[in-house]
Structure 1
Amino acid sequence: MPTSHEPSHEPDHEPDHDEPNHGWNAGDRVPVVDDPAAVTPQWLTAALRAGGTEAEIIAVSHEAIGTGQLGASYRFHLQARPGQDGSAPSTVVIKMAAGDLRTRSLIATAYRQETGFYRVFAPSARIRVPRCWYAGLADDGLSFTLVLEDAHPASPGRQVQGCTTDQATAAVRNLAGLHAPFWNDDTLTEQATWLRRTSETALRSMREVLVSAADTFVARFRADLSVADADVLLRTADQIARWGRRIRHRTSLIHGDYRLDNLLFTADGQVVTVDWQTLEAGFPGRDLAYFLSTALPAPQRRRQETSLVAAYHERLLRHGVTDYPLDACFEDYRLGTLHGPMTAMIGCVYAPGTPTESSDQMFLSMATNCAAAIRELGTLDLL
């Protein structure tokens, strides 16, 4: 994913701010492209106009950026016709499909989730996201194109490095801006029939996949895992279907992969969220617990989780959530911790591409931090 995008609206610390994200105009038709050579000045002019920027682009250049596994990203430098320079961005980030058609068919759901977020939900969300001028998806679902704002020099988070208390606080407050507008909204899948929602059949299938992934993961990292961590990871896999049934009492729109590598930190202390391929109608505590249990080493999490959950909860209330006491929020955080090892182990075992030392370190740190949180918070006992 690109290194940075510009946020689409004002800082989250303005409590009464309710400006929607600028978004893709469904009435405009711009061809979906999956080759940067197809991004001509004429194409970019049409894409920007689809998103509400009336400028004519007369020259472009680009370079590849990011290391996303589900697409390719490029930074495009734009030259507008003289006299229009102030209305057009000087750079944009364009994300598009990559790989052969067989590979794309396996991850086509991710393409639909991400373009769908910008098309359908971003205008109502209070979370900071890149401005999106164009979100196109091919009829066969195997190609997509996003034209997003570039927020260089915002700094991407790094999973293996962790984050500061201030960054964690900004991140959980930002997350509340995603959950609050869609809190217990039963119409989410009516608004978007493509939006994922876990069924009973999916839960049973998930257990089979996760048990296999956990066995492989624990065997692979046996030398790096404590006996206690390995036990938690294996038990988590075995209990994942029961967990899925236990967390049906609360629903919102969730990111599904809300971790440091998908967050961009701006110079003014704000957070911009990218990579929406795992969008889902699901339990909001999953996002919160996933972030805190993967971004913070166990000692830091133990010291700060109470105040960070409270910061998230306070921002939910400020955004209009009612009948949700802090103790219920903290229990949802406890319940959500099983999301972390599930995502880490499946990602590690089944992700496309060749494992690297850095990817192994990332998945291992995520799994061990999550295992510690599950054990210390007694999450398995809640089931």
Structure 2
Amino acid sequence: MSQILTTKIASNPRERLPQEENGVLFPHADRSGEFAVREFESDVAALASPEALTESWLSTALQLRNPEWPEVVGFTCEPVSANEFDILVRLRLRCADSGDGAPATILAKFSRPLPSPQWEDFIRQSFAREASAYQELNSHYACRVPGLLFAAADGQHFNLLLEDCGGENYVANESPDEHQPEHEAVLQELAQLHGCFVRTSPATAPEWQLRQRDSARFIAHRYRVGVEALRGVYSGWLAQGHFSLVEKFADYVADWHRYERHILTLSHGDARLENVLFQRDGGACRGSLLSWKLAGVRNPMYDVASLLSNDLSYVARNNSEAALLQRYCRVFEQSGTQYPFREACEDYRFNLFGPLIFNVCASGFLQDTLVQNGELIKRIRRNCMAIFDWDAMTLMQKRRNVIA
């Protein structure tokens, strides 16, 4: 008989998400209305790819979420997005009968093969973190996210089934230098998220959330690996000044993580347009945030810097950066916590190193295919230009003296 382990996140935020060697996770509300996660040992095997999906697997997985839902007798699969780490598809389900609220469409995420076995623990922890984040956010009204229906993991494969919140991935317009309403939509959700959890601290946050100080040494090491991967390919891809900045900052990565920010919150950790589904209704644009693998306790501007420094061209960022930051602060302060614009700008200036660190570390993770990854190199160029524009190294050196 399968063993069941229940963790009530609402009753104790320090409790961990269950993490066994093989298992299936899914959320439920108990009689008291508290949100929980149950784990069944190997009731449903995690699948390697969308091609392995069957009606039987879907029926079993969804009925763990709600036993009243009918059997799935057919489905179609449409690609939504893909990156180096996972694949997201939309499934249109055909059920035996209408059932009790059975979904007509759902989203399904599948992990991609790992580049090497050494990343297995990291990816597994990231998967558990993402499932925990959906669970936590589904019990709040902080920002738009799909509901978590089912999660499965084994040593190599990780699956999520999510409610279909609608929307499509961002597609760049012909002129990348024009400000996009998508950025405003994402900042709206981020500001609401940050405002909801602004009283979070490393001491009170759930265990599944990343802490920057705890990962300082690990990230500093992975950053140096990324620098060496870039060293072999930067010629023709990065200007000498950009690579010099990347190289020099290796000595500052651990200290950057150790600096104690005065405003902390739950942050997404990888706020980029490719991790958002957008819905458009006339001139209005709304976004639902996906991919919470790096969710953690950080300064709010970490997410804002990631979004603007990665996804806005140099011209677009210079034209709209100030207005976007002001807009963010207005929404954030609706939570009742003041965030003066000047203070937010200083935090933004310091957090511009966040996306650079992420992208350089990703270069090490993807070093075997780095020469084909033009988008990653483009983001690193944009990160460097933003750091130069804001003279962020001067602030880094000043704060490093405080740490010392």
The TM-score range, normalised by the shorter chain, is 0.7 to 0.9
Q: Is the 8 A contact 2:87 2:112 kept in 1?
A: yes
CA separation of 1:142 and 1:170: change in aligned 2, threshold 3 A: same
Specify the alignment match of 1:367 in structure 2: 380
1:131-150 correspondence runs (5 A): 131-134=147-150, 136-138=151-153, 143-150=157-164
User: What TM-score do the two structures reach when normalised by structure 1?
Assistant: 0.80
Q: For residues 42-83 of structure 1, give each alpha carbon's deviation from its aligned partner in whole angstroms, at most 9, with x where no partner exists.
A: 654554455569431341334373324334444333122334
The letter for the 1-side match of 2:256 is W
SS in 2 for 1:24: strand
| TM-superposed deviation, 1:94 | 1.7
Distance 1:273 1:204 in 2: 29
**Relative contact order, higher structure (CA 8 A, sep 6+):** 1
CA separation of 1:235 and 1:161: change in aligned 2, threshold 3 A: farther
Q: Out of 324, 327, 346, which is 1:331 matched to?
A: 346
Q: For residues 198-244 of structure 1, give each alpha carbon's deviation from its aligned partner in whole angstroms, at most 9, with x where no partner exists.
A: 236x3234333323422431441122322332232223322222222
Q: Out of 126, 131, 139, which is 1:110 matched to?
A: 126
Bigger mean CA offset, 270-279 vs 54-63: 54-63
Distance 1:341 1:350 in 2: 14
SS in 1 for 2:369: coil
Q: CA RMSD in A?
A: 3.1
Which runs of 5 or more residues in structure 1 are unaligned? 1-22
Q: Out of 105, 109, 133, which is 1:91 matched to?
A: 105
The letter for the 2-side match of 1:234 is E
Are 1:266 and 2:279 an aligned pair? Answer: yes
Q: Out of 322, 327, 342, which is 2:337 matched to?
A: 322
Q: For residues 83-121 of structure 1, give each alpha carbon's deviation from its aligned partner in whole angstroms, at most 9, with x where no partner exists.
A: 43x822222122244547936345211111111111234
Distance 2:37 2:300 in 1: 32
Specify the alignment match of 1:226 in structure 2: 239
SS in 2 for 1:59: strand
The letter for the 2-side match of 1:183 is V
The letter for the 2-side match of 1:69 is E
Q: Out of 72, 75, 88, which is 2:90 matched to?
A: 75
Specify the alignment match of 2:8 in structure 1: none
Specify the alignment match of 2:197 in structure 1: 182
CA separation of 1:37 and 1:302: change in aligned 2, threshold 3 A: closer
Specify the alignment match of 2:259 in structure 1: 246
Specify the alignment match of 1:216 in structure 2: 229
SS in 2 for 1:224: coil
Q: Out of 146, 163, 166, which is 2:181 matched to?
A: 166
Q: Is the 8 A contact 1:189 1:195 kept in 2?
A: no
The letter for the 2-side match of 1:285 is M
Distance 1:254 1:125 in 2: 15
Bigger mean CA offset, 121-130 vs 280-289: 121-130
| TM-superposed deviation, 1:32 | 4.4
The letter for the 1-side match of 2:270 is D
Q: Is the 8 A contact 2:138 2:147 kept in 1?
A: no
Specify the alignment match of 1:5 in structure 2: none
CA separation of 1:55 and 1:321: change in aligned 2, threshold 3 A: same
Are 1:278 and 2:294 an aligned pair? Answer: yes
| TM-superposed deviation, 1:340 | 1.6
Q: Is the 8 A contact 1:157 1:261 kept in 2?
A: no
User: What TM-score do the two structures reach when normalised by structure 2?
Assistant: 0.76
Distance 2:204 2:73 in 1: 42
Specify the alignment match of 1:4 in structure 2: none
SS in 1 for 2:209: coil
The letter for the 2-side match of 1:326 is F
Distance 2:64 2:182 in 1: 34
Q: Out of 21, 46, 69, which is 1:34 matched to?
A: 46
Q: Out of 306, 309, 317, which is 1:290 matched to?
A: 306
CA separation of 1:369 and 1:324: change in aligned 2, threshold 3 A: same
Specify the alignment match of 2:402 in structure 1: none
Q: For residues 133-167 of structure 1, give each alpha carbon's deviation from its aligned partner in whole angstroms, at most 9, with x where no partner exists.
A: 22x355x7765432113355523356998573322
Are 1:344 and 2:347 an aligned pair? Answer: no
Q: Is the 8 A contact 2:200 2:264 kept in 1?
A: yes
Distance 1:352 1:32 in 2: 34
Identity within the alignment, %: 22
Specify the alignment match of 2:320 in structure 1: 304
Distance 2:315 2:112 in 1: 40
| TM-superposed deviation, 1:127 | 1.6
Are 1:119 and 2:135 an aligned pair? Answer: yes
Say how many residue pairs are matched: 353
